[in-house]
């Protein structure tokens, strides 16, 4: 069964980043996806009211794009619940195919973004 959970310790986050070939960011939040085996990791942070996806990285020998999209959507949902209105993908953070399947659109500057209020519907 697929699980997507927040990573609670920086030591675990660092270890999973090493396994997935992602640059560890001690300041970033992170989720992990697994189904008994590690599928991947997503590191993200908030800055000036915007959420940034630092990396979305597969574990070695894993290519479960559906699980990675679910993890990215969980990250987007968390950002939205925290009051973040826009999510931006940092350069080279993830394969473009995952981004477009997750609702991100490349803007005029070539940066993938999503308006989280529009994506989730703004409730008053």
Predicted confidence at residue 123, as pLDDT, reads 58
pLDDT along the chain (124 residues), means of 10: 97 98 97 97 97 97 94 96 96 89 93 95 64
Distance (Å, whole) CA 124 – CA 4: 28
Predicted confidence at residue 122, as pLDDT, reads 64
Closest CA to 67 of 41, 95, 97, 44: 41
Domain ranges of the chain: 3-120
Predicted confidence at residue 35, as pLDDT, reads 96
Within 10 angstroms of residue 96's Cβ, the number of other Cβ atoms is 11
Q: Kindly report the CATH number that applies to the domain delimited by 3-120.
A: 3.40.630.30
């Amino acid at each position: 069964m697929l699980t997507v959970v927040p990573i609670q310790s920086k030591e675990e986050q660092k270890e999973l980043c090493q396994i997935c070939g992602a640059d560890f960011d001690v300041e970033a939040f992170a989720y992990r996806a697994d189904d008994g085996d590690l599928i991947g990791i997503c590191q993200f942070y908030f800055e000036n009211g915007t959420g940034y996806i630092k990396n979305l990285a597969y574990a070695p020998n894993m290519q479960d794009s559906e699980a990675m999209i679910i993890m990215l959507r969980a990250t987007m949902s968390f950002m939205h619940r925290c009051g973040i209105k826009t999510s931006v993908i940092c350069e080279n953070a993830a394969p473009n195919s995952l981004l477009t399947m997750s609702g991100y659109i490349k803007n005029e500057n070539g940066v993938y973004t999503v308006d989280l209020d529009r994506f989730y519907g703004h409730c008053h």
